[in-house]
Structure 1
Amino acid sequence: MPSNAPPPGADDPLDLHGVVPPTVTAFHADESLDAETTAAHARFVVDRGAHGVFPLGTNGEFALLTAEERARVVGAVADEVSEVPVIAGVGAPSTHETVEHARRAADAGTDGLVVVTPFYYPLDDAGAVEHYRRVAGSVDLPVYVYHIPSKTGNHLSLDAMRDIAAIDGVAGLKDSSKDVPWLGQAVADCEGLTFLSGSDSLLVPGLDLGCSGVISAVANAFPELVVDLYEAYDAGDEHRARALQREVYAVRRALKRGPYMAGVKAALSLRGFDAGPLRSPLRGMDDADRNDLESDLRDRDLL
């Protein structure tokens, strides 16, 4: 458990804290699912200090997978990782489909569920609260709300978040809104929940606000860096933690070069871990971007 970093919420049976990478989904060259390498990536981050793993998040390309593939990913990761919590993404546009994904993930052995707000169709407060009530009531696993309005088009109001926090089975929130005042108020209003900062731009600021952990895309490729940041913060070494946050800023900028989300798999391949291509219509880096990324990472002694 943390020493100086914020503790997880009292309503969180998994006591999530520290660094929880949103692990990648690996594909073969023909873009078919590579479940073995997907599980190996979860092992890669855990062996380098991660405190949990989150398959089927945004970095896991969950929206591009079939229901059967999603269940295979969860099963492969849950079979591989037992020493830290596995929290699996199960979100979908409809409540019905989300419940089906939740039940499949529970059957596959996950420890908890990450439920992104429904997307595409606009959602009011009553619809959001009822969605989480039905999902949390469908399985006997802790549910973590995933708030990323830039991708879903649905921003949770603080009133809705308070009502969702009161639902039995809701254990925490992963906030990727980058709305610091919103997050600060949610932390203050929902004391029993575990809060996880969902942006590499707000790792230390998120901990300052009361988040017990960080869900970091940078940690998919360089878990050691983000684990060092968290451990420095937890040890009370604020100066080192903030210096490492500046390093994360630089790595984040390097990884954002080229097509959307291409940087993490490119950086992993530069480290000798081949997770294959992204699934279409996402695409990887061209040679020029990859060479520039390699140069940036070598300049920072990360390769």
Structure 2
Amino acid sequence: MARARFRGVYVPIVTPFRGEEIADDVLAAMIERLIDQGATGVVPTATTGECATLSHEEHLRVVAMTVKMVNGRVPVIAGAGSNSTTEALHLVKGAEEAGADAVLMMSPYYNRPSQAGMIEHFRTVAKSTRLPIILYNIPKRTGQNVEPETIVELSKVDNIVGLKDCSGDPMQTMRIIEGAQEFSVMTGDDPMLFLVCCLGGTGGIMTSAHVLPGEWKRIVDLVDAGRMEEARAVHYKMLPIARVLFSEPSPGPVKAAMELMGFAVGPPRLPMTAASPACRDRVRAELERVGAI
């Protein structure tokens, strides 16, 4: 059986809040906008969706609502990582029961397992589910890198099919693309989309794609078509968006962008905070420049 392949630009959607509650109506409107504007798929309950401050029940409810709202139009990749293998198993089971198409699993954070421990963690979860698993390496948040050799080894597991790579290291990315067969390597370092596609990657799971996802996807499509000058032009058009959305701790700036585009997503939950007024002004200027508002 052919392995699942993921190509394009997937949006790790923010979780909208109204007070302490999740704003279901805003989530639905946001999903409609992203699909209409060309997002390949959506990724609820990941880092940008504030998975760290969602309760277990909220996490599962956001996944279930997203699957229902999308209604099969694009893939839903549910964030399901944890530093507890037991908790990860519960989250993956919930995603599968909700009807998600795949799960995105960050490496265990804080407790700093060995590379062998990470392999056993991911293998244990993979054995528990029929869903495709996309690994998520983000060492600046987890405190530990998943080494290229570890990822290549995990790529041999039938339903571990891809990677969201936030290593920030093109040499590491190349070693994974070179060593892992039939494996979807996508960037999560938004400014790297053009480069990663040129190296043989398949796209991105990108916070910045809340803004004009179809433009980001054009980069993937143009590289695939060999139209490098056009792809490079779109890259440099969109690059300032990626810069401004990470100019302060995420998801503050991207939530500011969504508010400016008409979605009452509310501020992040503490300890994360809203974008500063100066950052919000910079976000507004970039949205105006690309015609997003």
Relative to the length of structure 1, the TM-score reads 0.91
Amino acid of the structure 2 residue aligned with 1:116: M
CA spacing shift, 1:60–1:297, aligned 2, 3 Å: same
Residue of 17, 22, 25 corresponding to 1:33: 22
The yes-or-no answer on 1:219 pairing with 2:209 is: yes
In 2, the alpha carbon distance for the partners of 1:111 and 1:167 equals 18
The yes-or-no answer on 1:228 pairing with 2:218 is: yes
In 1, the alpha carbon distance for the partners of 2:16 and 2:96 equals 22
**Partner of residue 174, structure 2:** 184
The yes-or-no answer on 1:22 pairing with 2:20 is: no
SS of match in other structure, 1:114: strand
In 2, the alpha carbon distance for the partners of 1:296 and 1:47 equals 21
Structure 2 gap ranges (5+): none
**Partner of residue 230, structure 2:** 240
Relative to the length of structure 2, the TM-score reads 0.94
> Could you tell which deviates more after superposition, 30-39 or 15-24?
30-39
Amino acid of the structure 2 residue aligned with 1:60: G
Asked if structure 1 preserves the Cα contact closer than 8 Å seen for 2:211 and 2:292, the reply is no
In 2, the alpha carbon distance for the partners of 1:34 and 1:147 equals 29
Asked if structure 1 preserves the Cα contact closer than 8 Å seen for 2:161 and 2:184, the reply is yes
SS of match in other structure, 1:115: strand
**1:11, distance to aligned residue in structure 2 (A):** 5.3
**Partner of residue 45, structure 1:** 34
Amino acid of the structure 1 residue aligned with 2:27: T
Residue of 97, 102, 105 corresponding to 1:107: 97
**1:258, distance to aligned residue in structure 2 (A):** 4.1
Structure 1 gap ranges (5+): 1-9
Residue of 277, 292, 299 corresponding to 2:267: 277
The yes-or-no answer on 1:263 pairing with 2:253 is: yes
Residue of 52, 56, 63 corresponding to 1:74: 63
Aligned length: 292
Asked if structure 2 preserves the Cα contact closer than 8 Å seen for 1:200 and 1:248, the reply is no
Amino acid of the structure 2 residue aligned with 1:247: K
The yes-or-no answer on 1:60 pairing with 2:49 is: yes
In 1, the alpha carbon distance for the partners of 2:80 and 2:251 equals 20
